[in-house]
Structure 1
Amino acid sequence: MDYDLQLSHVYKTYDNGTPAVIDFNLDVEKGEFIAFLGPSGCGKSTTLRMISGFETVTKGDLNMRGQRMNNVLPERRPTSMIFQNYALFPHMDVRQNVRFGLDVKKMPRAEADRKVDGILEKLGLGEIANLPTARLSGGQRQRIALARSLVVEPDILLLDEPLGALDANLRKSIQNELKLLQRDLGITFVFVTHAQSEALALSDRTIVMNAGRVEQISPPRELYTQPRSQFVARFIGSNTIIPGTVRATEGSKVTLDTAYGPLSGTDRLGAGITEGRDMSIVLPAEAVDIVPADVDAAQIATEFGGNSIACKIERLQIVGHIMKMVVRLENGEKIDVEGHVDKYRDRLAVDGSAHVVWRSAAATVIDQ
């Protein structure tokens, strides 16, 4: 199978010996929306620049639709790139900016104008086609950069934090437009961002990077609810991490001895977990429930398999139909929990005692 994009054991090492990307492997199918996510300096933008051709590959293979691209110049790759600052030409109007790539390709003027008119209409830019870009808003400039990249009909569109300069409301609006446009065009998108919400909302799969290495490649929901490493568990979402030692396994259920007693979660990797191994239970915020202290212990054992930790209610806040809660565990650690207000109203009180509970199937067990 020829993937739109394939990176096999790709490394990037700078001349001073500093590794930037280490053993990166990825297969991207046509029409996928892929997001790179990670802290500053993790290697996500360097990887994108290797794909675009603006950085060289030190070792490994970078293929596009079955063709090796390691030494192919950027302008000869089937890609187009949008930078964070959009890189528009201020001395050109909107139409000229959008047509620039077609002029570089020496496309006949009539054909180029037809393509430019089509993309301007699709992105709602027709009415400002003859205006200079310097007079336009951030959202309009972002659409122009998108139009200029799409009009050349790339196989793969590369986006390097293209929404970073927009305000929150405009950013969310453009996100929605971007996803709809990508689905409509069927073009493969590779998107770099440091914003978790952006990556999880837009992508079909998200790649979490740390210190040059890939930590996990998963669909957003799986990444959020089933982290596979300590880094991902701490970096994505709002997770509570409980360390312990494996006491017993029963199918995919793993019970750990912890500071709170025996607690359990689920092994999702099938890693052959053995007794005595140091591991951690990862509790996504959505997996946690809060029950009042007067709930019968036998009921908790039946409903939650004994997964219960005593806590104190620190704060209760109603926001619309959501109850936001902060609870403090026995060791002083605080956990944020949310739930529908009807479920918790009149059942919990600030400074009152309660239990943090969860079902084993909703928690993930990972290595320490």
Structure 2
Amino acid sequence: MADFERDSGWLSGSVVDAEDARLATGVLAAASANPGNPIAARTGIRPGPGSPGNVEATSTPSRNVTVRPFQGVIQGTRSSAAGAYLITLAQQKTLDVLTAAPADSSNPRIALVVAQQTDRQYGDESDGMLVRVVPGTPAVTPVAPTVTGDWLPLAELTVRANAGAITPADIRDLRAYTVAAGGVLPLQAQESLPADGYSGQRLYDLETGLDLVRAGTGWRPAATGAVQLFGPADTGWPQTGGSAGASPYTFNQVTVPAAPYPRMLQITAQVTVQTSGTDERWDHVVRGQEGAVSALACFHGGPTKIITSVATGHRLLPATTPLVLTQYFGRGGGVTTGTAAVFSAAAHYTGLRVLALPVP
């Protein structure tokens, strides 16, 4: 049969082969982001309760990892009309990572946990879906192994040199989600953002909590003018117990995660500082990880040697760009003596907040 007009699914009196059946069920799945194959479905896990498809270390770290049950879609790639495989892992599965492929004595390696679909129609030895470990090769700077055929990535495992167990820190989640056609797609990470899409497609960014819609050639907030607020501080911040002297003192940090559209950031930082003198100049600064100053204020201790400084500023953050803002103060204007310390870590004394507004 030619690959042009395929037999409709479940047509009475016709021969409907496996490809026809997969193409028919694939109509109900979300489209892939491949503009060169508009009949392809998006490969991914069906979202649901219980973190489906999650790869986890055992409660006491061992050579094994476990994979939670899941259902999903694997788009066939070995024929222009291969269609979409609908797959199921019906119960939790335990995978042995280290027995068949022990850790190297000198170098780490990267292994992958995948769901792989085999099909004898395309030359495989068997038919079925298998959740398995692809071991990888040890190297000073290891890379993930190559997987051929039709497969769905679940996790990346770092197998450290001489490792006897896989810990939670060794596991990096690679899952991407898929939904029924027209469904709202949960976005697990920026890496799984569809590079292409159709006008009106909707998704929900699990990291930023935003509803996004496909408009033209890019992704925009579903609600025009939607804003985000970040702060007052990342975990473990603000910090006290140190002071600025010959070197500045960094005491606060806020991370603005990447979004698939540009944003104007309105930055407000405040701190109450106790200085060693009354006439020392101090610079109060907020800067990004690349060193660019995003907000700046200057202060003196004054008669009480206690002063509250507020620094404000704004900067344009391009699309798909994360930003880590740090807040610090240091001697300014050629001052070479004196010290200054954060008065208190309480929110009404120390804060760093960022208002992010989408821009065209």
Report the TM-score, using the length of structure 2 for normalisation: 0.32
Pick the structure with more helix per residue.
1
Larger radius of gyration: 2
Report the TM-score, using the length of structure 1 for normalisation: 0.31
